[in-house]
Amino acid sequence: MDSQTYYVSVQSKTIMTQQGDAAYEFEIEATSEELQKLQELFVEMEDFDNRSYIRNQIPGIPYHHDSENDGYDYYLKEIYNTLHELGTEETRNHISSMNL
């Protein structure tokens, strides 16, 4: 299957086909199946983010004792691993420099 270039923003959880559509952090080359996997990771991370919002209204629970935060962190790391795997050389170098 043929790869296509995509422009990804982890911060805004967007994947674009046109470079000038919006701000982005990373450029990747992905097949439709790889793109689907990345989109699913963003959905899972968003789900944990939404669940942690409710818990964040309750004082006294440390960040590291919250399963929603653990889930969010897990999917964030999976997103960066996937971006590293699919990324251009510049993308891979940048993610490597982040020491995740």
Residues 66 and 68: their CA atoms lie apart, in Å, by 5
**7-47 pLDDT per residue, tens:** 999 999 999 999 989 999 999 999 999 999 999 999 999 99
Please tell me which residue, 7 or 48, carries the higher pLDDT value.
Answer: 7
CA angle 35, 38, 44 (to 5 degrees): 145
Please calculate the CA angle 79-83-89 and round it to the nearest 5 degrees: 160
pLDDT 10s digits, 56-66: 666 666 655 66
The predicted pLDDT at position 49 comes to 84
